[in-house]
């Protein structure tokens, strides 16, 4: 079965990144890898995740795609509003969108894909 467009990562947002990390560590025992002053990758949480220093309220659900360009076309054709075109980040590429119902989501692929 293809792994394309399966939920792969949940990105949490908090203006107090250190406080949110301390809470997740204390409450759930999760480990973290810092990627600069404004991002922490979450380890040992059951599904990939991260915390970004931001005022966004809701978590961002991130799907994984084998073909990022095809996924972009697919979600655009289904009526999504593309809120951030494809961009590179350490280890991959992704784009972000809002579904017709207002859910913020993203799709990513690794650099090796």
> Domain extents for the chain?
6-110
Counting runs of H as helices and runs of E as strands, what totals does the chain give?
A: 2, 8
At residue 108, φ and ψ (nearest 5 deg) are -130, 165
Regions of the chain where pLDDT drops below 50: 1, 113
d(CA 42, CA 31): 6
The model's pLDDT over 45-72, given as tens digits with 9 standing for 90+, comes to 989 999 999 998 789 999 999 999 999 9
How confident is the model at residue 3, as a pLDDT?
Answer: 62
**pLDDT score for 41:** 96
Select the CATH number that applies to the domain covering 6-110 from these four: 3.30.420.40, 3.10.180.10, 3.40.190.10, 2.60.40.10: 3.10.180.10
DSSP structural state of residue 39: E
Which of the 8 DSSP states describes residue 112?
T
């Amino acid at each position: 079965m293809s792994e394309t467009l399966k939920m792969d990562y949940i990105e949490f947002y908090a203006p107090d990144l250190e406080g949110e990390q301390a809470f997740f560590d204390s409450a759930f025992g999760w480990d973290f890898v810092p990627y600069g002053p404004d991002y922490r990758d979450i380890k040992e949480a059951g599904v990939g995740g991260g915390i970004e220093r931001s005022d966004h309220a809701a978590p961002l659900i991130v799907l994984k795609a084998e073909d990022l360009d095809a996924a972009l076309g697919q979600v655009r054709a289904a009526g999504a509003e593309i809120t951030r075109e494809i961009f590179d980040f350490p280890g991959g590429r992704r784009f972000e969108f809002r579904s017709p119902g207002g859910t913020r989501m993203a799709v990513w692929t690794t650099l090796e894909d």
